Amino acid sequence: MTTKPYKIRVFSLLTIRKKIMTEIDHTNVVLGADDAYAMPLATTICSILKNVSSSNKLRFFILDGGIKDKSKERIHRVFDTHGKEHEIIWIQPDLNALKDLSTPGRPPSIYLPVLIPKLLPRDCKKAIFLDCDIIVEADISVLGNVQMNGAPIMAVRDYLIQICSDREGIAAYKELGGSADSPYFNSGVMIINIELWRKEKWTEKAIQYIKDNKESIYHYDQGVLNALFIDQWGELDAKWNQQGCLFWPQVLKKTDYTEKLMMMYEELVHYPFIIHYLSPSKPWNHKCMHPHANRFLYYLKESQWFGPLGWRSWWNRFLLRRYWWLFGDLRQNIRQISPAIMKQSK
């Protein structure tokens, strides 16, 4: 009889410890896509799994914007190959909350990131959000362990826009309490303080902001989040979101921030933690000229999206289209000069 309370006490402590460790040990990663972006999504996941430390456990939340069952099977294949120990949770968002927020040419789902705190389970206090046109070259759990120090969001400053007073920044930055030099972040890689968002009702504020400023918002969810968190967000190392414009520095404005980027140029170019393919032509497109497109293609192959035979077929078609496109001007020039050459040879 004397041992019974002791056993009950030990069981309670183990239960509490297990609950705490579940919250601490899991790094929450949020991604979202429709079926058109299912392949890039699988590639992003593959890059994460291949670089995470074996001692760290990840919990993936996939915002399902209409991914087909066959594509989901392929995504699960990535986990079977590279990370069975990690958890994947599919979330079917209710888009009714966004039905009045549609923008010409864009579906309401473009604003899904603002719903993340409402979509994740209550035990999530913090989460990493990633776009699907990226690859991760470092241990993502390192990013998950970054201290937020009360910031609602941690992100990397946008290389191109840089400040809120930019033409594509925040039109009402003064009314929102910002200044002309208030920094502007890129929303493709973010650590979200879920607990603070819920407490401060930032999702409701974001939806109201979209309704009130629909016509003046640039870059959709990115513009909304920059407006809400002007001068409140925390800045991450630029290597956590290497943006494509870095390779064409002539397009960057001559500012102190650009000078800072140039001072760490070699490090940013050759040793990024995350590569973000921001250009309109993505690395799975044969016209992409991004210098690190090959890294995406490497992870695409490793993802087993196509299977071994399917990959060879896709790769051959990709190369054929690429060479045909690259040498298109040469073919045209040959056709133009061929008659003249034939005429001279007669």
pLDDT band at residue 4 using 50, 70 and 90 as cut-offs: very low
Instruction: Decide: 86 and 59 in contact? Cβ < 8 Å.
Output: yes
| pLDDT computed for residue 310 by the predictor | 93
Rounded to an integer, what distance in angstroms lies between the CA atom of residue 65 and that of residue 157?
27
Strand partners, 58: 27
pLDDT band at residue 20 using 50, 70 and 90 as cut-offs: very low
Tell me the mean pLDDT in the region 269-290: 94
Instruction: Decide: 190 and 153 in contact? Cβ < 8 Å.
Output: yes
pTM of the model: 0.87
Does residue 12 belong to any structural domain of this protein? no
Does residue 124 belong to any structural domain of this protein? yes
Count of CA atoms in the C-beta half-sphere (13 A) of 209: 26
Rounded to an integer, what distance in angstroms lies between the CA atom of residue 236 and that of residue 146?
9
| pLDDT computed for residue 328 by the predictor | 74
Does residue 72 belong to any structural domain of this protein? yes
Does residue 332 belong to any structural domain of this protein? no
Instruction: Decide: 260 and 253 in contact? Cβ < 8 Å.
Output: no
Does residue 99 belong to any structural domain of this protein? yes
Does residue 112 belong to any structural domain of this protein? yes
Q: Which domain holds residue 30?
A: 26-305
Does residue 345 belong to any structural domain of this protein? no
Three-class secondary structure of residue 29 per DSSP: strand
Helix (H) or strand (E) holding 331: helix 328-345
Tokens of 133: 């046109």
Report the CATH number that the domain containing residue 89 is assigned in CATH. Answer: 3.90.550.10
Does residue 169 belong to any structural domain of this protein? yes
Q: What is the CA radius of gyration of the chain?
A: 24
How many domains is the chain partitioned into structurally?
1
Q: What is the pLDDT of residues 178-201, one digit of tens each?
A: 999 999 999 999 999 999 999 999
Rounded to an integer, what distance in angstroms lies between the CA atom of residue 228 and that of residue 112?
16
Q: What is the pLDDT of residues 219-235, one digit of tens each?
A: 989 999 999 999 999 99
